[in-house]
Structure 1
Amino acid sequence: MFERRSSPRTLLNETGSISVDEHRSVPCVVYDRSMGGVRITLPEAEIVPDRFVLSLKASNEILICRAVWRKLEEIGASTETTELPRPAQSGLRRVQTVA
């Protein structure tokens, strides 16, 4: 069988949740994960938007995902790697006062 993935996948079977909108999330199971994607199963796959936030409970990770393919109860999604913005460093120095 021809393997189309660019990186190997790791079987997980880890629980998580998908944020459907700002007020609602649905539970899911992440069956496997590769360097750039995940395979998720959930009963209501049709209500998940094309871009969504996936929270993994065991590893305490939050991933931004984009659905690449869908089946009845499964979604294959690519994961975006985002770097958190670093606080800006100001040119001001703290001056210590002596009383």
Structure 2
Amino acid sequence: MFERRSASRTLLNETGSISVDEHRSLPCIVYDRSLGGVRVALPEAEIVPDSFVLSLDASNEILVCSAVWRKAEEIGATTNGVSSLHPGRPAAREALQPA
């Protein structure tokens, strides 16, 4: 099988959350991650906007993401920026605001 990714991926299977808007986030599972992207799964994938903020629970990282593809309950996205923050994460709301 031909590999289309430009960077190898690391299997994670870790919990996280996706900020849908400034008032609501959805729990998700981050299946894998590469240098420039992630694959996440959540039952309500259809309501996630094309640009979103992903918070990784284990590492307290926040990733600004852009959806590239979608399947039933999965989203593949590129990561545009990374921040290491602690819970509470006010920067997650700021990342959703247009510049």
Residue aligning to 1:73: 73
Matched, 1:22 2:22: yes
Decide which structure has greater strand share. 2
**Following TM superposition, by how much is the alpha carbon of 1:82 offset from its aligned partner in structure 2, in angstroms?**
5.7
Residue aligning to 1:41: 41
Q: How many residues align?
A: 83
What secondary structure does 1:46 align onto? Answer: helix
**Following TM superposition, by how much is the alpha carbon of 1:81 offset from its aligned partner in structure 2, in angstroms?**
2.5
Matched, 1:10 2:1: no
Decide which structure has greater helix share. 2
Can you give the 5+ residue segments of structure 2 that lack an aligned partner in the other structure?
84-99
Q: Which has the larger radius of gyration?
A: 1
Deviations 1:56-96 (A, max 9, x none): 0001100000000000100000000368xxxxxxxxxxxxx
Residue aligning to 2:87: none
Separation in 2, partners of 1:68, 1:62:
18
Separation in 1, partners of 2:82, 2:19:
17
Amino acid at match of 2:26: V
Separation in 1, partners of 2:69, 2:19:
18
Residue aligning to 2:59: 59
Show structure 1 runs of 4+ deviating over 3 A.
none
Can you give the 5+ residue segments of structure 1 that lack an aligned partner in the other structure?
84-99
Please, what is the CA RMSD of the aligned residues?
A: 1.1
State the TM-score, normalizing by the size of structure 2: 0.82
State the TM-score, normalizing by the size of structure 1: 0.82
Separation in 2, partners of 1:11, 1:44:
22
**Following TM superposition, by how much is the alpha carbon of 1:26 offset from its aligned partner in structure 2, in angstroms?**
0.3
Distance change >3 Å, CA 17–CA 82, structure 1 → 2: closer
- Aligned residues with identical type, % of pairs: 80
